[in-house]
């Protein structure tokens, strides 16, 4: 079994040493789902829902991008990355789900998977926060990495969005 990268030889937590790694273009895409009630979903018009706190999807996109830029402050041992790109798309499907797809990119020595996952997660939490006044029967699910390129290996699930956002 491969050892965990965030434990040193003494089995204590440690940041992964990336000093000898070669920088490459790295992109990661994550997806998450917010299961809304029929009542909430029916209130969305023209791609968004305007509530007292503002437009739900627009606010969630801004929150997700802001969170991606602060991932190293939120998750211990994450490297600080100078993100070169972060974008989020949110769509409402016919199953009353807000589907969030977040993409982050950097030219660097370590990947941006955690930044993409953080962006998707916080965008979902923002949708929840903004819609909870309508119902607390909202479920966030299926937060996952769907694509990454750069570094040692590439990864892609069958649900990876094509082309990248």
Helix 113-131 vs helix 56-69: crossing angle, to nearest 10: 150
Beta bridge partners of 101: 31, 89
Residue 50 phi/psi, 5-degree rounding, is: -95, 115
Distance CA(81)–CA(68), nearest Å, equals: 10
Complete DSSP assignment for 48-63: B-EETTEEHHHHHHHH
* CB-CB contact of 59 with 65 (8 Å): no
Tokens for 94, please give them: 């016919």
Catalytic residue among 48, 129, 142, 154: 129
User: Is 17 known to be catalytic?
Assistant: no
- Chain centroid, CA 39 distance in Å: 26
Q: What residues act catalytically?
A: 129
């Amino acid at each position: 079994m491969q050892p965990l990268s965030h434990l040193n030889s003494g089995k204590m937590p440690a940041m992964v040493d990336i000093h000898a790694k070669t920088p490459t273009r790295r992109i990661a895409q994550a997806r998450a789902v917010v299961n809304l009630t029929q009542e909430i979903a029916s209130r969305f018009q023209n791609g968004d829902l305007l509530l007292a706190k503002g437009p739900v999807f627009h606010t969630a996109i801004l929150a997700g991008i802001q969170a991606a830029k602060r991932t190293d402050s939120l998750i211990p041992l994450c490297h600080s990355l100078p993100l070169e790109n972060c974008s989020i798309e949110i769509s409402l499907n016919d199953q009353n789900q807000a589907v969030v797809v977040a993409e982050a990119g950097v030219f660097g020595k370590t990947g941006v998977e955690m930044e993409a996952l953080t962006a998707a997660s916080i965008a979902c939490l923002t949708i929840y926060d903004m819609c909870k006044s309508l119902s607390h029967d909202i479920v966030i699910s299926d937060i996952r990495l769907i694509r990454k390129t750069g570094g040692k290996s590439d990864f892609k699930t069958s649900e990876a969005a094509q082309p990248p956002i």
